[in-house]
Amino acid sequence: MLDKRELKEMSRKDLEKLQAAVQKALSAAKARDQRQAKKAAAKAAAEFGFSLGEIAGTPSAKASSTKKKTKRAGKQARPAYANPDMPTQTWSGRGRKPNWFVAHVENGVTPDAMRVEK
């Protein structure tokens, strides 16, 4: 066991090596403790006729692989253009141009004339 005086006499390089060795030993001790705890928990569950997975409530591999990912709904863009013939038809200016917008532009209506006031 090292005492404070010995630590003070060590070089920075030696202290860093010691720190790395301590971190490695701590990781190994934690893994060992987890294995022992898992073994003890499995033994206790078996005494009651259960597996550790049943007690922990972990889903089976088949059930977890069938989960579907849901898409998050993004914010809906504000309308930038409205159909002059039917003002309820709007377009944000993003994505594919709607047929009513293309038809009006082909008939000579400017996009600025269909712009929605903010």
Tell whether 7 is covered by a domain: no
Q: State pLDDT tens for residues 45-57.
A: 899 898 888 888 7
| DSSP-assigned letter for residue 107 | T
Domain count, the chain: 2
Tell whether 64 is covered by a domain: no
Q: How far apart are CA 101 and CA 12, in angstroms?
A: 72
Q: State pLDDT tens for residues 77-112.
A: 899 999 999 989 999 999 999 999 999 999 999 999
pTM score over 0.85: no
Q: How far apart are CA 68 and CA 114, in angstroms?
A: 41
Of 112, 72, 108, 67, residue with least CA distance to 93: 112
Tell whether 68 is covered by a domain: no
Judge contact between 41 and 58, C-beta under 8 A: no
Same-domain status, 16 and 52 = yes
Domain extent, residue 106, equals 81-114
More confident residue, 57 or 42: 42
